[in-house]
Amino acid sequence: MPTLLHVDSSVWPGSASASRTVADAFRKTWEEQHPDGTVIYRDLALNPVPHLDAVGASAGFADPATHSPEQAAAFAERLRLIEELEQADAVLIGAPMYNFSIPSTLKAWLDQVILMGRTAGETPSAKGTPVTVVASRGGSYAPGTPREPFEYVQNYLRDLLGTMLGLDVDFIVPELTLAHSTPAMSELIPLAEASRTKALEDADARAKELAARFSADAA
């Protein structure tokens, strides 16, 4: 049965987080379609991975036979995360926008799993794996909006996940998530509700589409 790698990065727990709520909807449908499948779950807010440092970075460019004990330990951690990505048949990532970018915990995870000559390079080891990114944001950065030039989350992750790692990237974007808590945005509440509803519907549809794809591949 298929394996799903689910990565959350919101600092907010449960339903207080739009990205977690939508990702949970995807996962619920996925598990309904694959009751005997495997889910590898990483909550980067509760259990952050180490930021890549000189020891871990240098280990990635050196022959493992020459690793110092510190390099060997750092590289083992990188390999554990890389193998989770490589084992996954599908990937689900919660990527809320913080200060126009992704959470630093998600950036740390990405830096750990990007390894030239393995997950990145001419033949990325997870190439073609479908990845669904729930890119929530408090406002709107859609084409034609005043803040379109500040949309760095989708642009960044599309290039990094799609071009560098060779993954098949799809985005679900619940936006205007601050409308209910920000008086100046109160008139946008109907649009925020519509965006939330669409995101939940898209999560359900995406999970079902992937389930059908894997069922067809197994037939």
Q: Can you tell me the mean pLDDT for 53-74?
A: 95
- DSSP, collapsed to helix, strand or coil, labels residue 6 as strand
Query: Binning pLDDT at 50, 70 and 90, where does residue 33 land?
Result: very high
H-type helices in the chain, by residue range? Answer: 18-33, 54-59, 69-87, 104-113, 153-157, 189-218
Span 82-137, pLDDT tens digits = 999 999 999 999 999 999 999 999 999 999 999 999 999 999 999 999 999 999 99
C-beta separation of 8 from 46 below 8 A: no
What is the per-residue pLDDT for 216?
72
Least confident of 104-118, 162-176, 178-192, 203-217: 203-217
Q: What is the pTM of this model?
A: 0.96
